[in-house]
Amino acid sequence: MENGNSRLLFITDLVIMFACFFFVFKYYTGGTMVPLKGNILMGLIVIYWFLISVNSNILRINRLSNITSVTKDILIAYSVLSTITIATVAIFGQFRPNDKLILYPLLFGALSSTSLRLLYMVISKHRLKLGHQQKAVVLIGSGNAAKQIIATLLTTPELGFRIQGVLSDSDPGLPIRGLYAGKLSRFPDILRSHRIDEVIIAEPSSKTHAIKRIIDRCEVEGLRFCIVPDFYNLIPKWTVLNGLGNLPVIAARNEPLNIFSNQLIKRCFDVIVSSIGLLALSPLFLIIGVGIKISSPGPILFRQKRIGNNNAEFTLFKFRSMIVQPPQDSDTIWTIPDDKRITPFGKAIRQTNLDELPQLLNVLAGDMSIVGPRPEREHFVEKFSREIHSYRVRHLVKSGITGLAQANGWRGNTSIQKRIENDLYYLEHWSLWLDLKIIFMTFLNREAWKNAI
Protein backbone atom coordinates (compact mmCIF):
# COMPACT_ATOMS: atom_id res chain seq x y z
CA MET A 1 0.00 0.00 0.00
CA GLU A 2 1.57 3.27 -1.09
CA ASN A 3 0.66 6.95 -1.45
CA GLY A 4 -3.16 7.19 -1.30
CA ASN A 5 -3.45 3.64 -0.01
CA SER A 6 -1.06 4.48 2.85
CA ARG A 7 -3.35 7.31 3.92
CA LEU A 8 -6.32 4.95 3.72
CA LEU A 9 -4.51 2.41 5.86
CA PHE A 10 -3.60 5.11 8.41
CA ILE A 11 -7.24 6.19 8.65
CA THR A 12 -8.34 2.56 8.92
CA ASP A 13 -5.93 2.03 11.82
CA LEU A 14 -7.42 5.03 13.61
CA VAL A 15 -10.99 3.82 13.00
CA ILE A 16 -10.03 0.43 14.46
CA MET A 17 -8.47 2.08 17.53
CA PHE A 18 -11.46 4.38 18.10
CA ALA A 19 -13.89 1.48 17.68
CA CYS A 20 -11.94 -0.67 20.14
CA PHE A 21 -11.76 2.11 22.72
CA PHE A 22 -15.47 2.92 22.32
CA PHE A 23 -16.75 -0.66 22.58
CA VAL A 24 -14.48 -1.51 25.51
CA PHE A 25 -15.62 1.70 27.25
CA LYS A 26 -19.27 0.88 26.61
CA TYR A 27 -18.86 -2.75 27.70
CA TYR A 28 -17.22 -1.94 31.06
CA THR A 29 -19.02 1.32 31.94
CA GLY A 30 -22.36 0.91 30.19
CA GLY A 31 -22.14 4.49 28.92
CA THR A 32 -21.84 5.87 25.42
CA MET A 33 -20.58 9.37 26.20
CA VAL A 34 -16.80 9.29 26.48
CA PRO A 35 -15.60 11.87 29.04
CA LEU A 36 -13.44 14.84 28.08
CA LYS A 37 -10.24 13.21 29.38
CA GLY A 38 -10.92 10.19 27.18
CA ASN A 39 -11.37 12.37 24.10
CA ILE A 40 -8.15 14.24 24.86
CA LEU A 41 -6.34 10.91 25.22
CA MET A 42 -7.68 9.74 21.86
CA GLY A 43 -6.49 12.99 20.27
CA LEU A 44 -3.01 12.38 21.67
CA ILE A 45 -3.10 8.80 20.40
CA VAL A 46 -3.81 10.13 16.87
CA ILE A 47 -0.66 12.28 17.14
CA TYR A 48 1.39 9.39 18.57
CA TRP A 49 0.23 7.02 15.83
CA PHE A 50 0.98 9.59 13.13
CA LEU A 51 4.55 10.03 14.44
CA ILE A 52 5.04 6.26 14.66
CA SER A 53 3.62 5.74 11.16
CA VAL A 54 5.81 8.31 9.38
CA ASN A 55 8.93 6.95 11.08
CA SER A 56 8.25 3.27 10.41
CA ASN A 57 7.23 0.84 7.68
CA ILE A 58 3.77 0.01 9.01
CA LEU A 59 2.05 1.86 6.14
CA ARG A 60 4.49 0.69 3.45
CA ILE A 61 2.99 -2.62 2.43
CA ASN A 62 3.42 -3.84 -1.12
CA ARG A 63 3.52 -7.06 -3.11
CA LEU A 64 7.07 -7.80 -1.92
CA SER A 65 6.41 -7.32 1.79
CA ASN A 66 7.31 -10.21 4.05
CA ILE A 67 4.49 -11.43 6.30
CA THR A 68 6.82 -12.03 9.25
CA SER A 69 8.38 -8.56 8.96
CA VAL A 70 5.01 -6.83 8.62
CA THR A 71 3.65 -8.66 11.68
CA LYS A 72 6.75 -7.80 13.72
CA ASP A 73 6.59 -4.13 12.64
CA ILE A 74 2.94 -3.63 13.57
CA LEU A 75 3.32 -5.40 16.93
CA ILE A 76 6.38 -3.30 17.80
CA ALA A 77 4.49 -0.17 16.69
CA TYR A 78 1.66 -1.02 19.06
CA SER A 79 4.17 -1.78 21.82
CA VAL A 80 5.63 1.71 21.37
CA LEU A 81 2.14 3.23 21.25
CA SER A 82 1.11 1.34 24.40
CA THR A 83 4.23 2.44 26.27
CA ILE A 84 3.72 6.11 25.34
CA THR A 85 -0.03 5.97 26.10
CA ILE A 86 0.48 4.35 29.50
CA ALA A 87 3.21 6.87 30.30
CA THR A 88 0.86 9.72 29.32
CA VAL A 89 -1.93 8.41 31.55
CA ALA A 90 0.51 7.76 34.40
CA ILE A 91 1.85 11.32 34.23
CA PHE A 92 -1.41 13.21 33.68
CA GLY A 93 -3.89 10.86 35.32
CA GLN A 94 -4.24 7.74 37.40
CA PHE A 95 -3.29 4.40 35.90
CA ARG A 96 -3.52 0.90 37.24
CA PRO A 97 -1.64 -1.87 35.37
CA ASN A 98 -4.88 -3.87 35.02
CA ASP A 99 -6.91 -0.93 33.73
CA LYS A 100 -9.00 -2.65 31.05
CA LEU A 101 -10.14 0.63 29.51
CA ILE A 102 -6.61 1.28 28.26
CA LEU A 103 -4.92 -2.09 27.82
CA TYR A 104 -7.77 -4.00 26.16
CA PRO A 105 -8.40 -1.49 23.32
CA LEU A 106 -4.68 -1.42 22.53
CA LEU A 107 -4.56 -5.23 22.50
CA PHE A 108 -7.65 -5.57 20.30
CA GLY A 109 -6.36 -2.79 18.04
CA ALA A 110 -3.02 -4.56 17.58
CA LEU A 111 -4.74 -7.85 16.71
CA SER A 112 -7.19 -6.18 14.31
CA SER A 113 -4.56 -4.07 12.50
CA THR A 114 -2.26 -7.07 12.15
CA SER A 115 -5.07 -9.25 10.80
CA LEU A 116 -6.07 -6.53 8.31
CA ARG A 117 -2.54 -6.34 6.90
CA LEU A 118 -2.09 -10.09 6.71
CA LEU A 119 -5.43 -10.49 4.92
CA TYR A 120 -4.48 -7.77 2.40
CA MET A 121 -1.10 -9.38 1.73
CA VAL A 122 -2.44 -12.92 1.34
CA ILE A 123 -5.17 -11.80 -1.07
CA SER A 124 -2.89 -9.53 -3.15
CA LYS A 125 -0.12 -12.14 -3.42
CA HIS A 126 -2.66 -14.79 -4.44
CA ARG A 127 -4.16 -12.52 -7.11
CA LEU A 128 -0.72 -11.75 -8.53
CA LYS A 129 0.17 -15.43 -8.77
CA LEU A 130 -3.06 -15.98 -10.68
CA GLY A 131 -2.00 -13.28 -13.16
CA HIS A 132 -4.22 -10.43 -11.99
CA GLN A 133 -2.93 -6.84 -11.70
CA GLN A 134 0.28 -7.68 -13.57
CA LYS A 135 2.05 -5.12 -15.75
CA ALA A 136 2.97 -6.07 -19.30
CA VAL A 137 6.62 -5.19 -19.94
CA VAL A 138 8.93 -5.18 -22.93
CA LEU A 139 12.57 -5.96 -22.18
CA ILE A 140 15.25 -4.34 -24.33
CA GLY A 141 18.61 -6.13 -24.26
CA SER A 142 20.44 -9.44 -24.57
CA GLY A 143 23.36 -9.36 -22.11
CA ASN A 144 23.79 -10.77 -18.62
CA ALA A 145 21.66 -8.01 -17.09
CA ALA A 146 18.76 -8.85 -19.42
CA LYS A 147 19.03 -12.57 -18.66
CA GLN A 148 19.09 -11.82 -14.92
CA ILE A 149 15.95 -9.72 -15.27
CA ILE A 150 14.18 -12.48 -17.22
CA ALA A 151 15.10 -15.08 -14.60
CA THR A 152 13.89 -12.79 -11.79
CA LEU A 153 10.56 -11.93 -13.40
CA LEU A 154 9.80 -15.55 -14.39
CA THR A 155 10.57 -16.95 -10.93
CA THR A 156 8.97 -14.13 -8.91
CA PRO A 157 5.42 -13.56 -10.17
CA GLU A 158 4.58 -11.56 -7.02
CA LEU A 159 6.69 -8.74 -8.47
CA GLY A 160 3.68 -8.12 -10.71
CA PHE A 161 5.38 -8.09 -14.13
CA ARG A 162 4.61 -10.19 -17.22
CA ILE A 163 7.19 -10.24 -20.03
CA GLN A 164 5.40 -9.43 -23.27
CA GLY A 165 8.54 -9.81 -25.34
CA VAL A 166 12.30 -9.28 -25.57
CA LEU A 167 13.85 -7.09 -28.24
CA SER A 168 17.52 -7.20 -29.19
CA ASP A 169 19.65 -6.81 -32.32
CA SER A 170 21.63 -9.90 -31.29
CA ASP A 171 20.33 -13.34 -30.36
CA PRO A 172 19.77 -13.23 -26.59
CA GLY A 173 19.66 -17.01 -26.20
CA LEU A 174 16.53 -16.90 -24.06
CA PRO A 175 15.67 -19.74 -21.66
CA ILE A 176 12.06 -19.91 -22.90
CA ARG A 177 11.11 -20.05 -26.56
CA GLY A 178 8.67 -17.41 -27.70
CA LEU A 179 9.97 -14.57 -25.54
CA TYR A 180 12.21 -13.17 -28.29
CA ALA A 181 10.13 -10.70 -30.28
CA GLY A 182 12.74 -9.52 -32.79
CA LYS A 183 15.20 -6.69 -33.37
CA LEU A 184 14.98 -3.20 -31.88
CA SER A 185 13.42 -1.90 -35.09
CA ARG A 186 10.24 -3.82 -34.14
CA PHE A 187 9.73 -1.72 -31.01
CA PRO A 188 7.05 0.57 -32.58
CA ASP A 189 5.21 -2.48 -33.94
CA ILE A 190 5.17 -4.12 -30.49
CA LEU A 191 3.72 -0.96 -28.97
CA ARG A 192 0.96 -0.85 -31.60
CA SER A 193 0.02 -4.52 -31.38
CA HIS A 194 0.19 -4.98 -27.60
CA ARG A 195 -0.86 -3.01 -24.54
CA ILE A 196 2.48 -2.30 -22.87
CA ASP A 197 2.67 -0.81 -19.36
CA GLU A 198 6.41 -0.45 -18.93
CA VAL A 199 9.71 -0.82 -20.76
CA ILE A 200 12.88 -2.16 -19.13
CA ILE A 201 16.10 -1.17 -20.91
CA ALA A 202 19.05 -3.47 -20.19
CA GLU A 203 21.33 -2.67 -23.13
CA PRO A 204 25.09 -2.13 -22.61
CA SER A 205 26.02 1.52 -22.01
CA SER A 206 28.09 1.37 -25.23
CA LYS A 207 24.81 1.37 -27.22
CA THR A 208 24.02 4.98 -26.30
CA HIS A 209 22.27 5.86 -29.55
CA ALA A 210 19.99 2.80 -29.45
CA ILE A 211 19.07 3.52 -25.82
CA LYS A 212 18.32 7.16 -26.70
CA ARG A 213 15.98 6.10 -29.52
CA ILE A 214 14.07 3.76 -27.19
CA ILE A 215 13.77 6.48 -24.51
CA ASP A 216 12.54 9.02 -27.07
CA ARG A 217 9.90 6.57 -28.31
CA CYS A 218 8.75 5.88 -24.74
CA GLU A 219 8.40 9.61 -24.15
CA VAL A 220 6.32 10.00 -27.33
CA GLU A 221 4.07 7.08 -26.34
CA GLY A 222 3.82 8.21 -22.70
CA LEU A 223 5.31 4.95 -21.45
CA ARG A 224 7.12 4.40 -18.17
CA PHE A 225 10.64 3.10 -18.61
CA CYS A 226 13.57 2.17 -16.41
CA ILE A 227 17.23 1.51 -17.16
CA VAL A 228 19.27 -1.33 -15.67
CA PRO A 229 23.00 -0.42 -15.90
CA ASP A 230 25.30 -3.09 -17.32
CA PHE A 231 27.51 -2.67 -14.22
CA TYR A 232 24.59 -3.61 -11.90
CA ASN A 233 26.70 -6.33 -10.28
CA LEU A 234 29.26 -3.76 -9.10
CA ILE A 235 26.87 -1.68 -7.00
CA PRO A 236 24.68 -2.59 -4.00
CA LYS A 237 20.96 -3.16 -4.42
CA TRP A 238 20.01 0.16 -2.78
CA THR A 239 21.70 3.16 -4.38
CA VAL A 240 21.00 6.88 -4.51
CA LEU A 241 21.13 9.21 -7.50
CA ASN A 242 22.82 12.45 -6.50
CA GLY A 243 23.90 15.47 -8.50
CA LEU A 244 27.37 16.86 -9.09
CA GLY A 245 26.66 20.16 -10.77
CA ASN A 246 24.63 19.17 -13.82
CA LEU A 247 25.92 15.59 -13.78
CA PRO A 248 23.90 12.70 -12.29
CA VAL A 249 26.03 10.66 -9.88
CA ILE A 250 25.19 7.19 -8.57
CA ALA A 251 26.14 6.89 -4.90
CA ALA A 252 27.59 3.51 -3.92
CA ARG A 253 24.99 3.05 -1.19
CA ASN A 254 22.06 4.73 0.48
CA GLU A 255 23.18 6.48 3.70
CA PRO A 256 20.27 8.16 5.52
CA LEU A 257 22.63 9.29 8.30
CA ASN A 258 24.70 11.23 5.78
CA ILE A 259 21.82 13.75 5.74
CA PHE A 260 22.18 16.53 8.33
CA SER A 261 18.51 16.52 9.41
CA ASN A 262 18.72 12.79 10.18
CA GLN A 263 21.98 13.30 12.08
CA LEU A 264 20.26 15.99 14.15
CA ILE A 265 17.26 13.76 14.90
CA LYS A 266 19.48 10.87 15.96
CA ARG A 267 21.71 13.11 18.10
CA CYS A 268 18.71 14.64 19.91
CA PHE A 269 17.35 11.15 20.54
CA ASP A 270 20.74 10.01 21.89
CA VAL A 271 21.10 13.00 24.23
CA ILE A 272 17.57 12.64 25.61
CA VAL A 273 17.77 8.87 26.15
CA SER A 274 21.30 8.89 27.61
CA SER A 275 20.49 11.78 29.97
CA ILE A 276 17.32 10.12 31.25
CA GLY A 277 19.12 6.79 31.50
CA LEU A 278 22.03 8.17 33.53
CA LEU A 279 19.67 9.92 35.95
CA ALA A 280 17.22 7.05 36.31
CA LEU A 281 19.87 4.33 36.63
CA SER A 282 22.25 6.15 38.97
CA PRO A 283 21.16 4.03 42.02
CA LEU A 284 21.82 0.87 39.95
CA PHE A 285 25.27 2.22 39.01
CA LEU A 286 26.05 2.53 42.72
CA ILE A 287 24.91 -1.02 43.48
CA ILE A 288 26.92 -2.49 40.59
CA GLY A 289 29.98 -0.47 41.65
CA VAL A 290 29.80 -1.90 45.17
CA GLY A 291 29.39 -5.41 43.77
CA ILE A 292 32.48 -5.04 41.56
CA LYS A 293 34.57 -3.74 44.46
CA ILE A 294 33.51 -6.59 46.74
CA SER A 295 33.99 -9.32 44.12
CA SER A 296 37.53 -8.50 42.92
CA PRO A 297 40.32 -5.93 43.38
CA GLY A 298 40.65 -3.19 40.79
CA PRO A 299 38.75 -0.21 39.37
CA ILE A 300 34.98 -0.14 38.92
CA LEU A 301 35.11 1.12 35.35
CA PHE A 302 37.00 -0.57 32.54
CA ARG A 303 38.41 1.77 29.89
CA GLN A 304 39.50 0.54 26.47
CA LYS A 305 40.36 2.09 23.12
CA ARG A 306 37.86 1.23 20.40
CA ILE A 307 37.48 2.18 16.73
CA GLY A 308 34.31 4.13 15.94
CA ASN A 309 32.81 6.56 13.44
CA ASN A 310 35.13 7.39 10.49
CA ASN A 311 37.75 4.96 11.89
CA ALA A 312 38.43 7.37 14.78
CA GLU A 313 39.67 5.95 18.08
CA PHE A 314 37.83 6.72 21.33
CA THR A 315 37.82 5.47 24.93
CA LEU A 316 34.93 3.14 25.69
CA PHE A 317 33.58 2.73 29.24
CA LYS A 318 32.22 -0.48 30.73
CA PHE A 319 31.69 -1.86 34.20
CA ARG A 320 34.71 -4.07 34.83
CA SER A 321 33.64 -7.71 34.57
CA MET A 322 37.09 -9.35 34.36
CA ILE A 323 40.16 -9.54 36.52
CA VAL A 324 42.64 -6.72 35.98
CA GLN A 325 44.97 -7.68 33.13
CA PRO A 326 47.69 -6.08 30.98
CA PRO A 327 46.39 -4.02 28.02
CA GLN A 328 48.15 -6.33 25.53
CA ASP A 329 45.90 -9.15 26.79
CA SER A 330 42.60 -7.28 27.07
CA ASP A 331 43.15 -5.64 23.66
CA THR A 332 44.04 -8.79 21.72
CA ILE A 333 42.33 -11.81 23.36
CA TRP A 334 38.83 -12.70 22.11
CA THR A 335 36.25 -13.40 24.82
CA ILE A 336 34.92 -16.97 24.75
CA PRO A 337 32.26 -18.86 26.76
CA ASP A 338 33.45 -19.72 30.29
CA ASP A 339 36.38 -17.33 29.91
CA LYS A 340 38.57 -17.70 33.02
CA ARG A 341 39.19 -13.96 33.14
CA ILE A 342 35.52 -13.20 33.93
CA THR A 343 34.71 -12.79 37.64
CA PRO A 344 31.55 -14.39 39.14
CA PHE A 345 29.93 -10.97 39.59
CA GLY A 346 31.20 -9.96 36.16
CA LYS A 347 29.49 -12.96 34.60
CA ALA A 348 26.17 -11.87 36.09
CA ILE A 349 26.37 -8.31 34.76
CA ARG A 350 27.63 -9.49 31.35
CA GLN A 351 24.75 -11.94 30.91
CA THR A 352 22.27 -9.19 31.77
CA ASN A 353 24.14 -6.58 29.67
CA LEU A 354 24.46 -4.32 32.73
CA ASP A 355 28.21 -4.03 32.11
CA GLU A 356 27.40 -1.87 29.03
CA LEU A 357 25.50 0.83 30.96
CA PRO A 358 28.48 3.23 31.41
CA GLN A 359 28.47 3.63 27.64
CA LEU A 360 25.61 6.06 28.21
CA LEU A 361 28.48 8.43 29.07
CA ASN A 362 30.02 7.73 25.65
CA VAL A 363 26.66 8.49 24.04
CA LEU A 364 26.24 11.75 25.94
CA ALA A 365 29.79 12.76 24.97
CA GLY A 366 29.03 12.09 21.30
CA ASP A 367 31.50 9.22 20.78
CA MET A 368 28.71 6.65 20.47
CA SER A 369 24.99 6.37 19.79
CA ILE A 370 22.29 4.40 21.59
CA VAL A 371 21.92 2.23 18.47
CA GLY A 372 24.63 1.41 15.95
CA PRO A 373 27.26 -1.20 15.07
CA ARG A 374 29.20 -2.36 18.13
CA PRO A 375 32.71 -0.83 18.31
CA GLU A 376 35.67 -3.18 18.16
CA ARG A 377 39.30 -3.13 19.32
CA GLU A 378 41.93 -2.04 16.79
CA HIS A 379 43.61 -5.45 16.80
CA PHE A 380 40.37 -7.15 15.70
CA VAL A 381 39.41 -4.35 13.29
CA GLU A 382 42.65 -5.06 11.42
CA LYS A 383 42.05 -8.81 11.57
CA PHE A 384 38.43 -8.70 10.39
CA SER A 385 39.25 -6.13 7.69
CA ARG A 386 41.63 -8.65 6.11
CA GLU A 387 38.97 -11.37 6.23
CA ILE A 388 35.91 -9.31 5.19
CA HIS A 389 36.59 -6.60 2.62
CA SER A 390 33.60 -4.40 3.59
CA TYR A 391 34.22 -4.59 7.34
CA ARG A 392 35.24 -0.94 7.76
CA VAL A 393 32.12 0.32 5.96
CA ARG A 394 30.31 -0.10 9.30
CA HIS A 395 32.42 2.80 10.61
CA LEU A 396 30.49 5.22 8.39
CA VAL A 397 28.01 5.54 11.27
CA LYS A 398 28.53 5.96 15.01
CA SER A 399 29.01 2.86 17.09
CA GLY A 400 26.14 1.91 19.39
CA ILE A 401 25.42 0.36 22.79
CA THR A 402 23.20 -2.08 20.92
CA GLY A 403 22.75 -2.75 17.22
CA LEU A 404 20.73 -4.73 14.71
CA ALA A 405 23.28 -7.57 14.79
CA GLN A 406 23.08 -7.82 18.58
CA ALA A 407 19.26 -7.62 18.58
CA ASN A 408 19.23 -10.57 16.14
CA GLY A 409 21.58 -12.62 18.32
CA TRP A 410 24.85 -12.07 16.39
CA ARG A 411 27.02 -11.21 19.36
CA GLY A 412 29.66 -12.89 21.49
CA ASN A 413 31.45 -15.77 19.80
CA THR A 414 29.25 -15.84 16.67
CA SER A 415 29.61 -15.19 12.92
CA ILE A 416 31.40 -11.92 12.11
CA GLN A 417 30.08 -12.09 8.54
CA LYS A 418 26.49 -12.08 9.79
CA ARG A 419 27.25 -9.13 12.03
CA ILE A 420 28.58 -7.16 9.09
CA GLU A 421 25.50 -7.98 7.00
CA ASN A 422 23.28 -6.66 9.79
CA ASP A 423 25.46 -3.58 10.32
CA LEU A 424 25.43 -2.69 6.61
CA TYR A 425 21.65 -3.15 6.46
CA TYR A 426 21.35 -0.72 9.38
CA LEU A 427 23.66 1.79 7.69
CA GLU A 428 21.62 1.73 4.46
CA HIS A 429 18.13 1.63 6.00
CA TRP A 430 18.42 3.82 9.09
CA SER A 431 15.34 5.54 10.45
CA LEU A 432 14.32 6.62 13.93
CA TRP A 433 11.75 3.84 13.79
CA LEU A 434 14.48 1.28 13.09
CA ASP A 435 16.34 2.53 16.18
CA LEU A 436 13.20 2.12 18.31
CA LYS A 437 12.59 -1.31 16.81
CA ILE A 438 16.15 -2.44 17.63
CA ILE A 439 15.81 -1.18 21.22
CA PHE A 440 12.60 -3.17 21.68
CA MET A 441 14.14 -6.25 20.04
CA THR A 442 17.17 -5.97 22.34
CA PHE A 443 14.89 -6.29 25.37
CA LEU A 444 12.20 -8.61 24.00
CA ASN A 445 13.89 -10.87 21.44
CA ARG A 446 15.18 -14.08 23.03
CA GLU A 447 17.90 -14.30 20.37
CA ALA A 448 19.40 -11.04 21.64
CA TRP A 449 20.24 -12.62 25.01
CA LYS A 450 21.30 -16.16 24.25
CA ASN A 451 24.90 -15.43 23.19
CA ALA A 452 25.77 -13.02 26.01
CA ILE A 453 29.08 -14.16 27.55
pLDDT, one tens digit per residue, over 374-401 is 999 999 999 999 999 889 999 999 999 9
Express each pLDDT in 271-311 by its tens digit: 999 999 999 999 999 999 999 999 999 999 999 999 999 89
pLDDT at site 450: 74
- The answer to the question of residue 250 being in a domain is no
Query: What's the pTM value of the predicted model, to 2 decimals?
Result: 0.71
* 351 and 408 co-located in one domain: yes
* 64 and 152 co-located in one domain: no
User: Could you list the residue range(s) of the whole structural domain that residue 226 is in?
Assistant: 135-234
Last residue of a domain, one of 105, 129, 153: 129
- The answer to the question of residue 368 being in a domain is yes
Q: What is the mean pLDDT of residues 127-153?
A: 82
Least confident of 39-43, 246-250, 344-348: 246-250
- The answer to the question of residue 249 being in a domain is no
Q: Is the pLDDT higher at 177 or at 136? A: 136
* 171 and 206 co-located in one domain: yes
Whether 405 contacts 422, CB under 8 Å: yes
Q: What is the mean pLDDT of residues 198-221?
A: 87
* Selection from 321, 279, 325 nearest residue 300 by Cα: 321
Task: Give dist(CA 136, CA 193) in Å, integer.
Answer: 13
Q: Average model confidence (pLDDT) for the chain?
A: 85
* 221 and 82 co-located in one domain: no
Last residue of a domain, one of 216, 234, 252: 234
Contacts of 346 (CB under 8 A, 6+ apart): 292, 295, 296, 320, 321, 322, 355
Query: pLDDT-based confidence at 243, cuts 50/70/90?
Result: low
Task: Give dist(CA 277, CA 242) in Å, integer.
Answer: 39
- The answer to the question of residue 255 being in a domain is no
